[in-house]
């Protein structure tokens, strides 16, 4: 793969550290420096390359042959031995990836997902019911996170009373500890069988093992039962049921990917809409503007701003060759603000109607995209119907720190 643009590399070298909480607070000035002065960036400390321009992120996302997901898509996982890499489709290359995706994708078709609209609306209303105008609602903890977790729980077949354990684990699993070396810390946690995280993971696996056994004995009308009953194509043709570990990793992927990202998106909506009062008023006057606003939020503040890959062959960008076996970050968050792609990219404009890479591209394009869009639309429609506006309390809001999702962990809003 080759991409040459001799004019691109100039100026003082920018520095990007995905584990630096200060950069994470507002990475956009740094992302601009990368796009302008180091469109192929190399970080010596962690030994990774990074692409930040829209066209490069798009191209690399589509080229799974060169930019592999099979060693994981989270920087601190890439050095771990294979047995520590969960067997989730997001961490697989074709053909293994495609078999797994085919097995589950029926459950995510627009027809299946649209059927959930009424139920998601009921869940949103139920969560908002205790609140009155003048109250303070934690938009994440009281609304977005339980909502996303209830929706995915109902779809997958996880009983409501157990959702909190699963959600808490998903959050702990992603969280980076603040301190000297978040990278090493996160790696050790991922590989160390005695760590708190490993113990929590075992508890959640034990819980899901039991649930799988229950569904085997008594199948229900849910996705876990459907996946248990389906067969995946084997290597030599023919079919086989999924092994327990594959089932567990699939459920883990759904609960993690399905709740953390939607919660972050809702947090950004909670801040951006009242900040742009005229556009917010336009949405209130015409809810048909909401889907466009959700796409614009995804572009301007991608909940999942960094996707990691390993190169399987050498690749050349801007005259520099990166060897096979290199770690490469695709900076989705930088791509969404690329002035080569978007006019005035830092401006929030719900009528922009622009493509973005915030739900991925190519074979790993977000399986839950239809669901995420439905959830965000319904959750915002219901919130706006009850509380036409709100005031976020940024001073007491808290961010979540992970190397995969970015956004608010707590966002108190005055209704």
CA distance 178 to 157: 35
Assess 204 for contact with ligand HEM (CB under 6 A).
no
Assess 303 for contact with ligand HEM (CB under 6 A).
yes
CB closest to ligand HEM, residue no: 368
Q: How far is the CB of 365 from ligand HEM (least distance, A)?
A: 7
Q: How far is the CB of 402 from ligand HEM (least distance, A)?
A: 13
User: Which ranges of 7-128 would DSSP assign to H, the alpha helix?
Assistant: 21-25, 28-37, 54-62, 96-105, 110-114, 117-128
E strands in 173-318: 232-233, 239-240, 307-311, 315-317
Local structure of residue 267 (DSSP, 8 states): H
Q: Which residue among 304, 311, 341, 403 contacts ligand HEM (CB under 6 A)?
A: 304
Assess 89 for contact with ligand HEM (CB under 6 A).
yes
- Which CB atom, from 177 or from 245, has the smaller least distance to ligand HEM? 245
**Cis bond before residue 95 (omega within 30° of 0):** yes
State the binding string over 252-281 for ligand HEM (x if CB under 6 A, else -): -xx--xx--xx--x----------------
- Which CB atom, from 246 or from 415, has the smaller least distance to ligand HEM? 246
Q: Tell me the Ramachandran region of residue 317: left when phi exceeds 0, alpha when psi lies from -120 to 50, beta otherwise.
A: beta
Q: How many residues line the site for ligand HEM (CB under 6 A)? A: 27
What are the C-alpha distances in Å from 274 to residues 154, 202, 261?
31, 42, 21
Residue pair 162/168 in contact (Cβ under 8 Å)? The answer is no
- Which CB atom, from 258 or from 345, has the smaller least distance to ligand HEM? 258
Nearest Cα to 272, choosing from 407, 136, 125, 131?
407
- Which CB atom, from 252 or from 412, has the smaller least distance to ligand HEM? 252
Two structure tokens written together for 42: 């190399």
Assess 52 for contact with ligand HEM (CB under 6 A).
no
What are the C-alpha distances in Å from 105 to residues 93, 153, 204, 224?
16, 17, 24, 13
- Which CB atom, from 5 or from 117, has the smaller least distance to ligand HEM? 117
Q: How far is the CB of 286 from ligand HEM (least distance, A)?
A: 23
CA distance 127 to 120: 11
Binding segment (CB under 6 A) for ligand HEM, from list 2-10, 113-121, 251-259, 387-395: 251-259
Q: How far is the CB of 273 from ligand HEM (least distance, A)?
A: 16
Q: How far is the CB of 70 from ligand HEM (least distance, A)?
A: 11
Assess 372 for contact with ligand HEM (CB under 6 A).
yes
Region 331-370 residues binding ligand HEM, contact defined as CB under 6 A? 358-360, 363-364, 366-368
Q: Tell me the Ramachandran region of residue 318: left when phi exceeds 0, alpha when psi lies from -120 to 50, beta otherwise.
A: left
Q: How far is the CB of 73 from ligand HEM (least distance, A)?
A: 4
Q: How far is the CB of 311 from ligand HEM (least distance, A)?
A: 15
Region 93-122 residues binding ligand HEM, contact defined as CB under 6 A? 101
Q: What are the respective helix, strand and coil percentages of the chain, to the nearest 5?
A: 50, 10, 35
Q: Which residues bind ligand HEM (CB under 6 A)?
A: 61, 69, 73, 89-90, 101, 152, 253-254, 257-258, 261-262, 265, 303-304, 307, 358-360, 363-364, 366-368, 371-372
């Amino acid at each position: 793969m080759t991409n040459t643009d001799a004019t691109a590399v100039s100026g003082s070298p920018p520095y990007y550290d995905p584990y630096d909480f200060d950069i994470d607070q507002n990475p956009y000035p740094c992302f601009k420096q990368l796009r302008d002065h180091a469109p192929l960036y190399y970080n010596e400390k962690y030994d990774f390359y990074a692409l930040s321009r829209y066209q490069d992120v798009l191209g690399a996302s589509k080229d799974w042959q060169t930019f592999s997901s099979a060693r994981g898509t989270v920087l601190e996982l890439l050095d771990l031995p294979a047995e520590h890499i969960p067997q989730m489709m997001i961490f697989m290359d074709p053909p293994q990836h495609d078999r797994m995706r085919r097995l589950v994708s029926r459950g995510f078709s627009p027809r299946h997902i649209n059927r959930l609209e009424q139920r998601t609306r009921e869940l949103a209303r139920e969560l908002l019911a205790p609140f009155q105008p003048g109250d303070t609602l934690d938009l994440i903890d009281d609304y977005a996170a339980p909502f996303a977790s209830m929706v995915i729980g109902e779809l997958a077949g996880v009983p409501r009373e157990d959702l909190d354990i699963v959600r808490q684990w998903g959050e702990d699993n992603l969280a980076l500890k603040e301190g000297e070396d978040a990278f090493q810390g996160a790696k050790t946690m991922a590989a160390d069988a005695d760590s708190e995280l490993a113990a929590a993971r075992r508890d959640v696996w034990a819980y899901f093992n039991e649930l799988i056994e229950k569904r085997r004995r008594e199948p229900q009308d849910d996705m876990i039962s459907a996946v248990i009953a389906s067969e995946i194509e084997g290597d030599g043709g023919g079919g086989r049921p999924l092994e327990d570990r594959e089932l567990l990793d699939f459920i883990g992927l759904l609960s993690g990917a399905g709740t953390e990202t939607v919660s972050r998106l809702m947090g950004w909506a909670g801040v951006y809409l009242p900040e742009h009062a005229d556009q917010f008023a336009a949405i209130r006057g015409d809810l048909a503007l909401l889907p466009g606003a959700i796409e614009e939020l995804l572009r301007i503040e991608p909940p999942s701003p960094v996707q990691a890959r390993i190169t399987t062959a050498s690749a050349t960008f801007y005259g520099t060759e990166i060897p096979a076996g290199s770690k490469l970050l695709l900076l989705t968050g930088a791509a969404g603000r690329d002035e080569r792609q978007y006019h005035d990219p830092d401006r929030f404009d719900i009528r922009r109607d622009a493509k973005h890479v915030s739900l991925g591209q190519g074979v790993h394009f977000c399986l839950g995209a239809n669901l995420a869009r439905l959830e965000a639309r319904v959750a915002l429609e219901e919130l706006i119907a009850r509380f036409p506006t709100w005031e976020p309390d940024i001073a007491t809001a808290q961010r979540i720190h992970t190397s995969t999702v970015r956004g608010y962990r707590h966002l108190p809003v005055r209704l």
